[in-house]
Structure 1
């Protein structure tokens, strides 16, 4: 049976889509609900890992976690900016950060440990990984980005939620936050001198990460005093 223009259709991933634009209403709320539930699924997985590692090692490798689902205003603006049709199928295929999760870790090694544990789970599928720690952006930005798919069991189907996970250290997060504030303040027209100082600050943050990692490893390898 061919779905009418006003009837839901199911794409190959199981995500409900429509031929018309994603206009405000129940369908749009349900579309975003899949991302919200997918984000909650990944958050639960991360919190389980966090608590288990705290129990095993006596400390947590995660300093803090933030998450968000794009507002319809932000989603619409990005789609228009990138020339993406506002349909469910188009948005899901082209916009990978509708749902976003940021995990801030203590050390660089923790970033890769958490990423590896998450990707080993059977219901987490890696779509693409971008390692800006091993290969920083020209401006100095460092972080590990994972685009992942996870199933969401709705009342009438199993949908697929795509989530962007960013993992970084405290130093990386501090630098990224400052860089964002500076670029927002200057409306992208940041003076060359400030750009150069930001790049130098990124190198200093990287050196700090290396030093802190070494000190942490050395402290854990030494026997405790009697």
Structure 2
């Protein structure tokens, strides 16, 4: 075998390995996205409320991965890269309220096949820049034709206000080639405080609306004739008993 043929075979093998490498991240994102969409649909149908506004996913480009490999002084070994860089695949969930963020975190934690590796709460402790978000590193199972892999996925959960601020900060950061003037930095921090204040205000308004809604529901129930109330309570009890029987089966 000539040196050229040997190099050609090695290149072909590396291409297959690289394809498998990138493919596993895409499948991991598909897996976690499906779980989040199911939770979103369940909340909409059962609870008549949806804590998830929208979802974005991304996979780092090969160029971006190479830059991070060089920054971390890692060898160009796919297995080492896979274990050392945990944000190659990412999913971002946007919510209306801060309480929704922790509700979603709890729902993800309850997924038995998802392992939470790390949590960084930049809401409790914002970055110096003012950045707020909840970050989690997850290990997601991917079932392939010949094996099972566990793939790292970074999940970011934030409110609409947090996402708006982060989007503007990102644009300014790159517009000034990562060297933002001190005056703009101070204004960004101030804007982050304003966004946090807006989140607290909207959370408070939402709580008040829910209290009023429950009061109206209670008043509506009180106005129902006694016989109808008995029927509704009986139907509810039948439903609960059926659920208990199903559980015992």
Do Structure 1 and Structure 2 share a fold, with TM-score over 0.5?
yes
Gapped regions of structure 2 (runs ≥ 5) = 1-5, 221-249
How many angstroms apart in 2 are the aligned matches of 1:35 and 1:169? 25
Give runs of aligned pairs for residues 1-226 of structure 1, distance below 5 A. 25-222=15-212, 223-224=215-216
Secondary structure of 1:25's partner? Answer: helix
How many angstroms apart in 2 are the aligned matches of 1:184 and 1:164? 22
How many angstroms apart in 2 are the aligned matches of 1:143 and 1:176? 9
Query: Over residues 13-43 of structure 1, what are the superposed CA-to-partner deviations in whole Å (9 max), with x where a residue is unaligned?
Result: xxxxxxx99x961210101111111111000
Query: Over residues 112-132 of structure 1, what are the superposed CA-to-partner deviations in whole Å (9 max), with x where a residue is unaligned?
Result: 101110111110001110000
How many angstroms apart in 2 are the aligned matches of 1:76 and 1:148? 22
How many angstroms apart in 2 are the aligned matches of 1:57 and 1:122? 22
Q: What is the RMSD computed on CA atoms of the aligned residues?
A: 1.8
Secondary structure of 1:209's partner? Answer: helix
Secondary structure of 1:155's partner? Answer: coil
Which consecutive aligned stretches of 4+ in structure 1 deviate over 4 angstroms post-superposition?
none
**What is the match of residue 17 of structure 1?**
none
Query: Over residues 85-138 of structure 1, what are the superposed CA-to-partner deviations in whole Å (9 max), with x where a residue is unaligned?
Result: 221221122211110000000100000101110111110001110000111011
How many angstroms apart in 2 are the aligned matches of 1:52 and 1:69? 27
**What is the match of residue 233 of structure 2?**
none
Query: CA offset at residue 155 of structure 1?
Result: 1.2
**Matched positions, count:** 207
> With CA pairs under 8 Å and 6+ residues apart, which has the higher RCO, 1 or 2?
1
Secondary structure of 1:216's partner? Answer: helix
Query: Over residues 174-223 of structure 1, what are the superposed CA-to-partner deviations in whole Å (9 max), with x where a residue is unaligned?
Result: 00000000011000111111000000000000000000000001101113
How many angstroms apart in 1 are the aligned matches of 2:43 and 2:75? 43
How many angstroms apart in 2 are the aligned matches of 1:59 and 1:126? 26
